Structure 1
Amino acid sequence: MTRILKTSGFLGLAAMMLVGLYQATLVAGGSAAPGWMVGGHAHLGVLSILAIVVGFTVDVLGLTGRLRQAVSGLFVVGQWGVPLTVWVAVLVEFPPLHATTFVWGSALIVSMLLMAWQAATTDATLDVTGTATPADD
């Protein structure tokens, strides 16, 4: 499951960079980047970096089973749900969709609370022997 977090993080960064390039073309053309686009861009960037970090931390803290699946699944849903909801709600002109941001944000919060609990109750273990192989997941 950490492969999902790491992959989602890198895909999110690539998407965020594409949006950033589009914003740069708007500014270069004399227009301002809309606030909703800037906000979604920032959230996707930060959450994508955090997805990569969480992906490695899940391994270090030794999360297994349902706890590992919950942290990974909830985080990925929140990572994409928060910025995409803002962008889609504005693009399709359906403001009530913004309310679902609380659902996606709650998924992120639960994921982080599970990680906080694991960090507080578990000794981290690092495999520094060089025995890791690709796709350990």
Structure 2
Amino acid sequence: MSRVLKVSGFAGLAIQMLWGMMNVSFHITGPPPYFAQLVGAHAHFGVLGILAVVTGFAVERFDVAGTRRSVAVWGFVAGQWLLPFTLVAQGVTGMAQLGMLMFLWGLCLFASMAVMTLKALRAE
């Protein structure tokens, strides 16, 4: 499962790079009204992509297993992708209420990091 995190992380970084080029093209042609959300998504794809790769190696290093491994991996992957997509959906649709979903995706990321924190505390 740590492969899932690493692949997800590198895919997120690739998306982030393409997203950045798209943002630059918007600067040339004139940004859409939801440009701030696009910039935010770009940043989240990048940072969460890097953290996914690092977490993938940490899951292996700390030998996380069972339910904790599932929470660490799938919680992170869900948050990594759904948080930036929610930013974009919020901007494109103009529905500010979608922002509430970001708390849910943030909780997924928090659960993943909490599992890893506890595992790191107990590791030798």
TM-score by length of 2: 0.93
Identity %: 38
CA distance in 2, matches of 1:80, 1:25: 23
Tell me what 1:48 maps to. 49
1:32 is displaced (CA, Å) by 4.4
Question: In the alignment, residue 17 of structure 1 is paired with which amino acid?
Answer: M
The structure whose residues are more often helix, as a share, is 2
CA distance in 2, matches of 1:26, 1:37: 10
1:93 is displaced (CA, Å) by 2.5
1:94 is displaced (CA, Å) by 2.0
The Cα offsets for residues 40-83 of structure 1, whole Å up to 9 and x where unpaired, read as: 11011000000000000100001111111110000001111111
Tell me what 1:128 maps to. none
Secondary structure of residue in 2 paired with 1:62: coil
Tell me what 1:102 maps to. 103
Question: In the alignment, residue 98 of structure 2 is paired with which amino acid?
Answer: L
CA distance in 1, matches of 2:92, 2:25: 19
Question: Where do 4+ consecutive residues of structure 1 move more than 4 Å?
Answer: none
TM-score by length of 1: 0.84
Secondary structure of residue in 1 paired with 2:64: coil
Residue 17 of structure 2 corresponds to residue 17 of structure 1 = yes
Tell me what 1:73 maps to. 74
1:90 is displaced (CA, Å) by 1.5
Residue 1 of structure 2 corresponds to residue 5 of structure 1 = no
Residue 116 of structure 2 corresponds to residue 122 of structure 1 = no
CA distance in 1, matches of 2:108, 2:80: 9
Structure 2: 5+ residue runs without aligned partners? none
Question: In the alignment, residue 16 of structure 2 is paired with which amino acid?
Answer: M
Aligned residue pairs total 122
CA RMSD of aligned residues (A): 1.2
Larger radius of gyration: 1
CA distance in 2, matches of 1:22, 1:115: 34
Question: In the alignment, residue 45 of structure 1 is paired with which amino acid?
Answer: G
